A and B are shown apart, each in its own frame.
Chain A
Amino acid sequence: MSQTITADRKWWSGGRSPFNVEYGKLMMWYFLMSDAFTFGAFLISYGTIRFSSNSWPDPNHVFRSFPIIGEMHIPLAFVSLMTFILIMSSVTMVLAVGAGHANDKKKVMFYMFLTILGGLAFLGCQAWEWTHMHGEGAWWGRNPFMNIDGSQSSTNFTNFFFTITGFHGFHVFSGVIINIIMLIMTWKGVFEKRGHYLMIEKAGLYWHFVDLVWVFVFTCFYLF
């Protein structure tokens, strides 16, 4: 005998699993929370250093290139494309979770495939951006961009940029690996035998978190 949640019982009152979610999913939430603090620490230290500097490079000047068409002076266009790719792959991930609810193996595989493709596209964009900036002379410990007021800049900007986007890119990379494993497991029929696709949901939580972090990285580096 078990009760399902109804709208008027939004608080736990004992007698059943307190959060009404599976153990692994709950633990994924707590892991993501700890990961949020890691990213938060990075971004806050970036903010602290930026607040303690008299001037800072201009993101509009630094991020203005686009592949193939080159220096078009269309500021932030490329990073908007990257943001769009990541949000889009987040949508296909939710659709895969939804297909999992309906126990539709083929659809789960299709949407997982699209999600992996989106992740790889994002990584490719990031690889291009890093290569381009490296070509301009930017790297850890080297900063070719001057501050917005024309004064000489320190290497703080590039150090933080490469460390934080690198750490985020590493998360995207591991997310893609996890998604590939999920795709193979779906294909082998592991979840079909199990009777539910909750593993897809857990991988999905991680994937959305990566998207969530990018929202903050985007604001902190490209907009401010």
Chain B
Amino acid sequence: MENVHTVEEMQQAEEHSFDTKAIWKTFRILLYITVVELILAISYYEITFSNPHLVKHVLNGVFIMLTLAKAFFIIAEFMHLGHELRNLILTIAIPAMLFLWFIGAFLWDGNSFKNLRNNYDRQHLEQSKEKAPVKEEHESKKPGSIE
């Protein structure tokens, strides 16, 4: 029965790694990152840039990195994966790598579809440039609306 690991023993092994201080530290990190994201998002709308498209692209890159940082802290600390055996970490992390290909391939495809369509379907391009009729801002309340 040597390879049987009882639940009590597993718990004993884990007890040393449980630390309330580390949890609150993780919480603060998550909070700070979220606040930074918000400040960036709001200031982008408040400040007028000479090259808004470039700024938006850079900003999106920053958002992706901050999001991944948040995800890392949630998985490693809250879900405790950072303290498990490396084998377990890898059985989770390696399949998750598929996302890199998924995201890359599908966004590339979407972008390519847009370019092809704009090139070969001029009517679609013209139509997507037409301005929508400007509506009065919430003049008529629809039933069921809550303020």
Contact = CB atoms under 8 A, between A and B. Distances in A.
Interface string A62-77: 0000010011000110
Contacts of B142: 135-137
Most buried by A among B31, B125, B141: B31
Given A50-B110, A60-B45, A19 B132 contact: no
Nearest to B69: A215
B85 A20 contact: yes
B102 to A, nearest CB: 6
B74 A208 contact: yes
A145 to B, nearest CB: 10
A36 B98 CA distance: 11
Interface string B25-64: 0010011001001100110010000000000000010011
A209 B147 CA distance: 32
B65 to A, nearest CB: 10
Given A12-B87, A55-B128, A5 B41 contact: no
Contact of A84 (B7, B34, B70, B74): B34
Contact of A5 (B13, B18, B38, B106): B13
24 contacts: A5-B13, A19-B85, A22-B7, A22-B10, A29-B92, A52-B113, A75-B42, A87-B31, A87-B34, A91-B24, A94-B77, A98-B18, A101-B15, A101-B18, A131-B146, A135-B141, A135-B145, A147-B132, A150-B131, A196-B11, A208-B78, A212-B74, A222-B41, A224-B60
Interface stretch (A41-49, A162-170, A178-186): A41-49
A1 B114 contact: no
A17 interface: yes
A92 B132 CA distance: 47
Contacts of B88: 19-21, 26, 29
B139 interface: no
A121 to B, nearest CB: 17
A150 to B, nearest CB: 5
A17 B110 contact: no
A33 interface: yes
A195 B38 CA distance: 44
A128 B145 CA distance: 10
Contacts of A12: 85, 87
A135 B146 contact: yes
A40 interface: yes
B113 A101 contact: no
Contacts of B123: none
Interface range, A side: 35 or more
A98 B45 contact: no
Q: What DSSP secondary structure best describes chain B's contact surface?
A: helix
Interface in A84-138: 84, 87-88, 90-91, 93-95, 97-98, 101, 128, 131-132, 134-137
Contacts of A76: 38, 41-42
A80 interface: yes
A187 interface: no
A146 B24 CA distance: 42
Contacts of B7: 22, 195-196, 198
Nearest to A75: B42
B107 A48 contact: yes
A151 B131 contact: yes
Interface string B130-147: 111001001001101111
A223 B64 CA distance: 10
